[in-house]
A and B are shown apart, each in its own frame.
Chain A
Amino acid sequence: MTGHRQHRLTAVGALLVAAGLAVVSFMPNVPGYEFPQMAAIGAMICAAILVLLALVPRQPITTIDEEPIPWGGIWPLLLILFGFLLVMGWLGFFATSFLAFFLITQIYSPQRFHWRGAIRGAGIAALFLGVLYLIFVTVLRVQVPSGILI
């Protein structure tokens, strides 16, 4: 039954998002916004049908395809990705990538934390980024954000 409730919540949430788009698209009262308005209305219509199909019948007709969000597993990754953006400009792309790579492999490694494993992880991270550096920066001359490190 929780599945059904989540299904209904999704439909209502989708309607709210679509309504948000519509509000933003209709607010500026100048020409040039016709297409965004149409897209927003299209989204609204789809969301409205979704809500009708999910709320009105006692049993939902549309597929219940929602899954719960595994917050416990993903918040460290969210933090790492967010941190990546913040730190990249200051520290430089390769240094930040090394940290991100190392943290992701260590946090999500199926084995328990161990110094030996950490050193190995750092080695793999350095190897991967070293190859990336050699191919793209040395040979292909790609520019990456550089900060106080590389």
Chain B
Amino acid sequence: MNNKRQLPKMTLLAGMVSGTLVLAGGTAWAAEDFPTNPINVIVSYSAGGATDFQARIATSKAEEYLGEPMVIVNRPGAGGQVGWNYLVQNGRDEGYDIAAYNVPHFIAQSQMYDTHYNLDNLEPIANWGVDPAVLIVGRDSPFDTIDDLVEYAKENPGRVTVSGAGLFVGHHIATLQLENEAGIELRYVPTSGGVDALRFVQGGQVMAGFNNLSDAYRSQDRLKILGIADLERDEEFLPDVPTFQEAGYDIDDSSVNFRGLMTRSGVSEEILDKLSEGAVAMFNDEEVQAQLKDGGSPMRVMGRDELSEMWQERHDYLEELFAGLDPEELEEAAEED
């Protein structure tokens, strides 16, 4: 192109364009300066969902703590696989591409499906939220306790429908655990998100459901919350709801939904530490904490070391759980139609 000839005629525009060129070209990628650009945060779910909403609040103070803002990029699809695959396949290893994760969801998916990501090519950064699965039934449901539901399911095997936010998310795992522990057969109906799963319970389309504590807490007037799949009661939000263990079912906290930030492996140790420290401080910011609490999202801030340990623990447990399941049943779950 005859770029040279145009220049005199539109000095202003050319100046503007070349000015941005210099900016883009002069960026240094050294770890000491990190970050010099906005950081992209991939959210594997569509805008408006619980993960998206929490991620937006949790990262809102990035400019203050890391020096650059975090930009949320929604890459929904394939139950989260699209976004996470994108991170390990197309993300740069310079710390500018990070993603929000959902444990145990992404670990279970990497075990059950042919995904590009797994624990080995991902690096944890920091955890902000913890959201246990709770067992809910509609307001007019005849079930008042976990025992009521289990008893009914024993008498009517396969007739109790349970909704959850998708295949192999925490809700699904809690359902599998309950089936194993109580020796009952439930029919798990995956929906395309936690909100839909909640709607099915509220509207009476399903008999029960596992859902996020935070979402169930917000719609309590249309629901009864029977049990919480965690090791301890939630004293702050739902002090009266018993844990499954109290009710006599040995279900631990494996289905608890942890939310936080991760990046692909290959990012240098210094950048990882910088990101992690900044993120932990950001999640501990009073305003961020207050905003998340207002939204009914319980917080637990964790750093890199604690997080790697937790990931590995979940990974091993899930492997055991899936191995212990009837292979036929699993196949059915994976190919339910």
Contact = CB atoms under 8 A, between A and B. Distances in A.
A adjacent to B, CB under 8 Å: yes
Interface of A: 30-32, 34, 94, 99, 102, 115, 118-119, 122-123, 126-127, 130, 133, 141, 143, 146, 149-150
B323 interface: no
B335 A130 contact: no
B46 to A, nearest CB: 18
A37 B295 CA distance: 44
B30 interface: no
Nearest to A130: B13
Which interface class (under 10, 10 to 19, 20 to 34, 35 or more) fits B?
20 to 34
A84 B48 CA distance: 33
Nearest to B23: A150
A141 B38 contact: yes
B195 interface: no
B23 to A, nearest CB: 9
Contacts of B38: 141
B337 A102 contact: no
A126 B17 CA distance: 9
A34 B337 contact: yes
Interface stretch (B1-9, B183-191, B286-294): B1-9
Contacts of B310: none
A143 B40 contact: yes
Given A30-B335, A126-B6, A150 B14 contact: no
Contacts of B1: 99, 102, 122
Given A130-B13, A146-B24, A150-B24, A119 B5 contact: yes
B20 interface: yes
28 contacts: A31-B335, A31-B337, A32-B337, A34-B337, A94-B17, A99-B1, A102-B1, A119-B2, A119-B9, A122-B1, A122-B3, A122-B6, A123-B6, A123-B9, A126-B6, A126-B14, A130-B13, A130-B16, A130-B17, A133-B16, A133-B17, A141-B38, A143-B40, A143-B71, A143-B73, A149-B21, A150-B17, A150-B24
